[in-house]
Amino acid sequence: MAKGNQCPGKSEGVGKFSVCWSAYSNNGSVILVNEREHHSLGYSVLRLFWIYGLWALSAALSLYSLLWVRVFVLVEIPMSLFRVNPWVLRFLDRWGSVLLLLMWLILAIGSETIFRRLPEHKDPVRTVARVFGVEVLMLAIAYGGHLIIS
């Protein structure tokens, strides 16, 4: 197997990857080697765990904040401000919960994309702070509204 830019056979550049034909294979096995970064497997696995750990934390925080949004927007506002019928409240809660879960899914996929592309960013700390800042702001607004109405 090839490590870094060393190739036991012949090599051709294709974009940001190198295609390397092994000298030990009859059929020419293809190995994609990223020319920009040549880190060890341990570093790559650690970076992968770090990125997906941040994503899992972000997904959990956004789910928690959306549950508070559900309590505030779909239960407390209709009950205290509009005095709706319990049947209407149940309808709003069920369908609103489905919409909020779809919104959470979009947020989780979006944050996974942002965290997966994190090594490409010039300032990854600022990117992580922005993602978590939006989620904490959403949680603070929902919880603050809950405290005001209660």
Element spanning 131, H or E: helix 124-149
- Lowest average pLDDT, out of 71-75, 82-86, 109-113, goes to 82-86
Q: Which residue intervals of 14-116 are DSSP H helices?
A: 41-69, 77, 86-116
Given a cut of 80, is residue 104 above it in pLDDT?
yes
DSSP 59-87: HHHHHHHHHHHIIIIIIIHIIIII---HH
The mean pLDDT of 91-118, rounded to a whole number, is 94
Specify whether 73 is located in the same domain as 116. Answer: yes
Specify whether 87 is located in the same domain as 127. Answer: yes
Number of domains in the chain: 2
pLDDT tens, position by position, 6-46: 555 444 544 444 444 444 444 454 444 444 445 677 778 88
120 vs 150, more confident: 120
Buried b (16+ CB within 10 A) or exposed e, 52-90: eebbebbbebbbebbbbbbbbbbbbbbeeeeeeeeeebe
Specify whether 101 is located in the same domain as 131. Answer: yes
Among left, alpha and beta (phi > 0; psi -120 to 50; other), residue 34 is beta
Which is nearest to 91 in space by CA: 101, 81, 99?
A: 99
pTM summary value = 0.68
Specify whether 6 is located in the same domain as 72. Answer: no
2 vs 124, more confident: 124
pLDDT tens, position by position, 39-60: 677 778 888 899 999 999 999 9
Specify whether 53 is located in the same domain as 92. Answer: yes
- pLDDT-based confidence at residue 134 (cuts at 50, 70, 90): very high
Specify whether 81 is located in the same domain as 133. Answer: yes
DSSP state of 119: G
Specify whether 25 is located in the same domain as 49. Answer: no
Bridge partners of 32, per DSSP, are 19
Report the pLDDT value the prediction gives residue 34, as an integer from 0 to 100: 45
Length of the chain counted residue by residue: 150
Residue 142 lies in domain: 41-149
Specify whether 9 is located in the same domain as 70. Answer: no
| Portion of the chain with pLDDT greater than 70, in percent | 74
For residues 20 and 2, give the distance between their C-alpha atoms in angstroms, rounded to a whole number. Answer: 8
Specify whether 77 is located in the same domain as 95. Answer: yes
